[in-house]
Amino acid sequence: MSLYSPSSAPSAVRLRPATLEDAGLLARWDREPHVIACSTDDPDANIAFGGIDWREELADQSEVGFYRIAEVDGRAIGVMQIIDPHLEPTHYWGEIEPDLRAMDIWIGPPDALNRGYGTQMMTLAIDAAFADPKVTAIVIDPLASNTDAHRFYRRLGFQPVGRRMFDEDDCLVHRLERATWEARP
């Protein structure tokens, strides 16, 4: 017998491009405690990502840095950022080899956590990234303190490759090689 009966199997997630109209939604999610906690170790923070201006961020999207909104049955439940860390203009990752993708992910509404949606989002985005034959690996930079996220990424095949400071943020960089992804069962 399967662990999940068809009625409790997770609904299908769809990733669509983010538009300027998503700015309000993303700003609301920035007030959720689980989103704040993934963006900073500051215990006094009351907004995620230092209060980013989402209209500006979304207007700046390009081929080398863009957002995808995850929807389930037409409801937006999460977001991903996908960049080419070698070409992306802010050079957030510093000196880094070409032909990688860097990703970030968060679920917005608390009731959408732990339902398998994050795994579906990552699977769709990783498949799309590796559809480009030049892409060799995917990197991510969760806070070193975000051990739930580390477990989530490890299950997808990411391996920790080293601790690194990004500005004030103490992160544990993880990497997923193309060969690892293609060899998964």
Ligand X SMILES: CC(C)(COP(=O)(O)OP(=O)(O)OC[C@H]1O[C@@H](n2cnc3c(N)ncnc32)[C@H](O)[C@@H]1OP(=O)(O)O)[C@@H](O)C(=O)NCCC(=O)NCCS
**Binding-site ranges for ligand X (CB under 6 A):** 4, 10, 34-35, 38, 104-107, 113-119, 140, 142, 146, 148-149, 151-152
Nearer to ligand X, 15 or 105 (CB): 105
C-alpha 99/C-alpha 106 separation (Å) is 24
Nearer to ligand X, 7 or 90 (CB): 7
| Helix boundaries (H) for the chain | 23-29, 33-39, 54-59, 117-130, 147-156, 178-182
Find out whether 173 and 160 touch, Cβ atoms under 8 Å: yes
Name the token pair of 85: 């860390």
Instruction: Collect all residues with Cβ–Cβ distance below 8 Å to 21 and sequence separation of at least 6.
Output: none
Nearer to ligand X, 23 or 174 (CB): 174
In 3-state terms, what secondary structure has residue 168? Answer: coil
C-alpha 56/C-alpha 58 separation (Å) is 6
Residue nearest to ligand X (CB): 118
- Closest contact distance (angstroms) between CB of 62 and ligand X is 22
- Closest contact distance (angstroms) between CB of 103 and ligand X is 9
- Closest contact distance (angstroms) between CB of 164 and ligand X is 13
Nearer to ligand X, 23 or 120 (CB): 120
- Closest contact distance (angstroms) between CB of 34 and ligand X is 5
